Structure 1
């Protein structure tokens, strides 16, 4: 079933690393797979770090990746927005991910696109109300991700999806999702790596954002039991990956036997 795979889209947080440590065996796994000729894009819904910062963080874990191999939700959104020459963008993110939007018209005044990432404690009634009013005046909401929750320091934490849903409900307008699991994100990532969807497998720990999203885009899927993986959540979702492995360290063995 995986014999046609020539490359992988690999999730970062929960798959490549957890909190501040690499998943055991990940560097060796990637080295083996690269030696066999597989291509990689490391995909993430992380919205508070630029691709350059993500590359440095991952490299600090002893995981060799290049900046060009990283495909983040902010980078995908910037590529998508560049297709609209008249785009005036209010980008709401934390950290330095704003640098991935260089070249676009960025403004808080009269935007026609509002790009929303995970602001964590930066979300406030005043900010959400400002966004709501601009949506009501005609702006389009672009969600970098709609994740329900994420795992940090061993605990589940509410994610940006709840705030996106609140804005959708109040404004009566559906957000354009650019991060996982949207078809836009996976189509852009597939184009970036230069392979066909059927030649790619998505490796991740999130049954909805990683596995379901990739399946709907025509990719093969491999679910790992690290990160936010919970057996009861997988069973409830009713989504069947092409393969289930303990961690990404087991990926070379899986591919050798495919």
Structure 2
């Protein structure tokens, strides 16, 4: 039985500020069927408040507990360890870390800083890591489909550069980290074998979900999808569908 659906946002529900065709109705249909929805995004250029606002403007209403972001996970991680963040992130995301400070040391937090990925900023992060700061990656995606419709370099390359230079591995907080999927699912009171993930990233969304134990993971041919992505995922997707509307039909047909 399928009781919960985990949905990626950019490239699945919307592209830029526009919902993808059929996506709003698909979300509504899943809700009407009584499925528990959670929205999981690796987007680190927008604060949580703006994500809520964007979805609301599209006609998708969600409560706070339904949205899971890497910044949210990072804030909880830092607070639990009483660490102060050194933020190498997009300026718009800074509000998600406002008021956070700690007495037990520092942690370098890397997201998609866009034009903030200067040599000076990366070198400062490098030096802090050498001095013993903890190392957090909000995501390590290779690319994302930008608002101009083209693929753009994501945070993963910069995380990898710092890992190479420091000979350290970052703690990953977003997809495909198993704990990210499991935290979202835990809030639904559903088991991993009762859930389906829908995403456009064969590596972070699909393989990540399946390795976390999620029952099924559907790859949509929207967003960053490129022909052949399904053959590059390990494990491969449970199914490849045209869009979120098709994914919703797949889920509802196999719900019981």
TM-score over 0.5 (shorter chain): yes
1:120 matches 2:114 = yes
> What's the CA shift string for 1:232-256, capped at 9, x where partnerless?
2322335321222111112332123
After superposition, residues 187-202 of structure 1 pair within 5 angstroms as 187-202=182-197
* Unpaired runs of at least 5, structure 2: none
Please, which moves more after superposition, 168-177 or 86-95?
A: 86-95
* Unpaired runs of at least 5, structure 1: none
> 2:134: which partner in 1?
140
SS at match of 2:38: strand
Which of 40, 47, 62 aligns to 1:50? It is 47
1:18 matches 2:15 = yes
Q: Is the 8 A contact 1:16 1:26 kept in 2?
A: yes
After superposition, residues 115-194 of structure 1 pair within 5 angstroms as 115-152=109-146, 153-194=148-189
> 1:70: which partner in 2?
67
> What's the CA shift string for 1:189-211, capped at 9, x where partnerless?
22233322112111101000100
Q: Is the 8 A contact 1:90 1:111 kept in 2?
A: no
Moved over 4 A (4+): none
> Distance in 2 between the 1:222 and 1:160 partners?
24
TM-score of the two chains, using structure 1 as the length reference: 0.91
Count of residue pairs brought into register by the alignment: 252
SS at match of 2:80: coil
SS at match of 2:73: helix
Q: Is the 8 A contact 1:91 1:106 kept in 2?
A: no
> What's the CA shift string for 1:18-75, capped at 9, x where partnerless?
1221111111111111111101111111112222210101222233333332111101
> 1:99: which partner in 2?
95
Deviation at residue 92 of structure 1 after TM alignment = 2.7
> 2:240: which partner in 1?
244
Over the aligned positions, Cα root-mean-square deviation in angstroms equals 1.9
Which of 66, 83, 87 aligns to 1:87? It is 83
- Structure 1 residues 83 and 195, CA gap change in structure 2 (3 angstroms): farther
> Distance in 2 between the 1:26 and 1:142 partners?
32
